[in-house]
Amino acid sequence: MEIKIIKQITDEVIEGLQNILPQLSPSSVFILDKKHLENVIKSDSITLFIAEDENKVLGTLTLAIYPTPLTRKAWIEDVVTDNAARGKGIGKLLIEAAMEHAQKLGIEKVDLTSSNDRIAAHGLYKKTGFEKRDTSVFRRYIK
């Protein structure tokens, strides 16, 4: 098992992400665009991690780092492990890699959100040191 920071979008990476990202949100349809993914990994504020074993993508995590007037912040997005590989510590390895990367960049705290129905993910986040905050997330769609 290897945790990698993606520096190049290959057909294998696209295929791997295309297989696992729908598991994060089964009701959504994902068609990944190579150009979009290339823009993601070229961004100075985004780090895309994958967990790979024998050239097969088994998990992914996106770390976003951004400045605010007060400090620099980090946010974890799109954490997902392939259903067939769950319970093997892949999510933990991805989170540890992201936290180590954030720490090297001088980030002092990392946030994430998780849907209420993702109970197993909540357990993972707690095991890796995250604490539930008393806050609300608001969203507004732009039409």
Q: Which residues contact 46 (CB under 8 A, 6 or more apart)?
A: 40, 62, 63, 64, 65
Three-class SS state of 17: helix
Cα–Cα distance list, 49 to 24, 41, 60 (Å)? 15, 10, 6
CATH number of residue 13's parent domain: 3.40.630.30
The total number of structural domains that make up the chain: 1
User: Amino acid identity, residue 124?
Assistant: L
- Taking the CA of residue 11 as centre, how many other CA atoms within 13 Å lie in the half-sphere pointing to its CB? 0
Residue 47 · residue 62 · CB < 8 Å: yes
Alpha-carbon gap, residue 130 to 124, rounded angstroms: 9
In a domain, 143, yes or no: no
In a domain, 107, yes or no: yes
- What is the predicted pLDDT for the residue at 24? 87
pLDDT in single tens digits along all 143 residues of the chain: 999 999 999 999 999 999 999 998 877 667 889 999 999 999 999 999 999 999 999 999 999 999 999 999 999 999 999 999 999 999 999 999 999 999 999 999 999 999 888 899 999 999 999 999 999 889 999 98
The whole model's pTM is what?
A: 0.92
In a domain, 89, yes or no: yes
Residue 100 · residue 61 · CB < 8 Å: no
Whole domain around residue 39: which residue ranges?
2-127
